[in-house]
A and B are shown apart, each in its own frame.
Chain A
């Protein structure tokens, strides 16, 4: 490769930074002529700030954040685009031993079923006296915040009145749980496994049970940088796609966990990183459960930046009163995600790609081959309450949403 692209990417030390780490460490970036520098950050705010002043060109970022930035909700964010997702799923809800006991008394089971355990949480709240339960999430504009609220609301719990939701840095959540500062949290890995194995917490449910194959982190790109460096951006997407294939192979999981365990990356023990990669999660006590599609790095078009994902995030911003709905804002949200750039960058790889840019979310109850080749399988992608989101009728979905 003669072309050299120097790209600096920011990331937060979480399991789903894997694609960027592997692109660099396993030589996929180099093979595309990219000199990839990774910058580790300790907050999403500092990722945003460094994107704004162009210390970094691209970043591992919460799926809703670039949308929030483009809507002016998260200054000083630069204009951003999302040409790729960095996998599906990966989060869980961990609760304190006391809350788990209260939930278990009302029928919660270790199978992590979102419906049954949501009902149990509601029943536990109904008989609770004293201060409302407090749950931690990682950021207001995060999949964590929205999926936790979705689960609670669909279980008949008002996330703003029946409980309190606070933002905490993920590394502090396990301690906050064991000190009784919070009663539960929704976070990415390794922080649920950490909470269970090191702080005595118990999983209540997982993202994959609330909404299977749902969006999480994405590649956020400073739009000015992307416009000025289309070749570098395309080369990076190829490298990241190849990294996603590598991450998806079970035989690589041990090596990936070892790689991520390095202090420069996630920096934790391998035993905290491997469960999420293998989809075999410690749920509390000695129990370990195999969870289908817990974290999906490549299959099911896991790196495709669906406009329907962007629009669903937008509907949740409206639902939880972070912004009022207008047609213009809806358009800005949808245009933040750029499947056109993804398709153009990866077309030479000969992989099966979705032929549409948006889909009805929650429509597939079983794995379904799509496209004429049948190589690409999507779903199941159901919401646990049977909900469906039709991106062609955003206003009807917004109107149907309750807040409590």
Chain B
């Protein structure tokens, strides 16, 4: 069986992450990839698709259902948990760490599936790294806004230049062993408390 003959099913409520996995699989030569991102009627769809391999996000609440289907169902070939080989502890750990789980049809050689899992793990990790970076960028933007408002307050109330206002914030932060954004936030909060209808 060549890679492209394996029927791979990706189940993930996160559409973007699912698309990233699908993309990776297609790049690696897997042509028969199906993505399910709506969990409604999942059991029926899996039975219809009869996949050789299922890649699913670890947090998916349908995993217990999925595992029981494999255990009992006559409708589906008997897929089994990816990690049947206890010696494979490192890859179990890497997968759980990344937040992905996989199931394969009984009888399929583990080696044939390992590249899929490896790819899924690295793409799951890349996805969470991207999400984290996006979050941080958003946070930084927010911080910059707060600092700008605090500078504005100081410039107006104390007649400082922008540079001097920033220097004051920085000096205060250093003296109190806190972050500039924390000092700025306290200032903005205090100003809004003192002057709720304020003009800042």
Contact = CB atoms under 8 A, between A and B. Distances in A.
Interface of A: 41-46, 49-50, 52-53, 55, 75-76, 138-140, 166-169, 171-172
A166 B96 contact: no
Nearest to A49: B96
B27 to A, nearest CB: 27
Interface string B35-47: 0000100010000
A44 B86 CA distance: 19
Contacts of B81: 75-76
Contacts of A167: 64-65, 67-69
- The SS class assigned to the A binding surface is loop
Nearest to B82: A76
Contacts of A140: 67-68, 71-72
A398 B189 CA distance: 70
A42 B59 contact: yes
Nearest to A52: B92
Contact of B92 (A44, A45, A53, A138): A53
A45 B72 contact: no
A253 to B, nearest CB: 28
29 contacts: A42-B60, A42-B61, A43-B61, A43-B62, A43-B64, A45-B63, A45-B64, A45-B66, A46-B59, A49-B58, A49-B92, A49-B101, A52-B92, A53-B89, A53-B96, A75-B84, A76-B83, A76-B92, A139-B64, A139-B68, A140-B67, A140-B68, A140-B71, A166-B43, A167-B67, A167-B68, A169-B64, A171-B61, A172-B39
B83 to A, nearest CB: 4
B163 interface: no
Contact of A53 (B71, B84, B93): B93
Nearest to A76: B83
Nearest to A73: B71
Given A45-B63, A53-B96, A167-B65, 4 more contacts: A45-B67, A52-B96, A53-B89, A76-B81
Contacts of B96: 49-50, 52-53, 55
Contact of B101 (A42, A45, A138): A45
Contacts of B182: none
A141 B81 CA distance: 16
Contacts of B200: none
A55 B97 CA distance: 9
Contact of A168 (B58, B59, B65, B71): B65
Contacts of B86: 75-76
Contacts of A168: 65
Contacts of A75: 81, 83-84, 86
Interface string B134-151: 000000000000000000
Contacts of A52: 83, 92, 96
Contacts of B83: 52, 75-76
A233 to B, nearest CB: 23
A171 B65 CA distance: 13
Contacts of B63: 43, 45-46
A346 to B, nearest CB: 32
B97 A53 contact: yes
Interface string B174-196: 00000000000000000000000
Contacts of A45: 63-64, 66-67, 101
Given A53-B92, A139-B68, A167-B65, A43 B43 contact: no
B131 to A, nearest CB: 19
A68 to B, nearest CB: 11
A76 B101 CA distance: 11
A163 to B, nearest CB: 14
B95 to A, nearest CB: 8
A50 B83 CA distance: 13
Interface string B97-110: 10001000000000
Contacts of A171: 61
Contacts of B61: 42-43, 169, 171-172
Contacts of A55: 96
Contacts of B67: 45, 140, 167
Contacts of B58: 46, 49
A50 B86 CA distance: 15
Given A45-B101, A53-B97, A169 B92 contact: no
A76 B86 CA distance: 7
Contacts of A42: 59-61
A168 B66 CA distance: 9
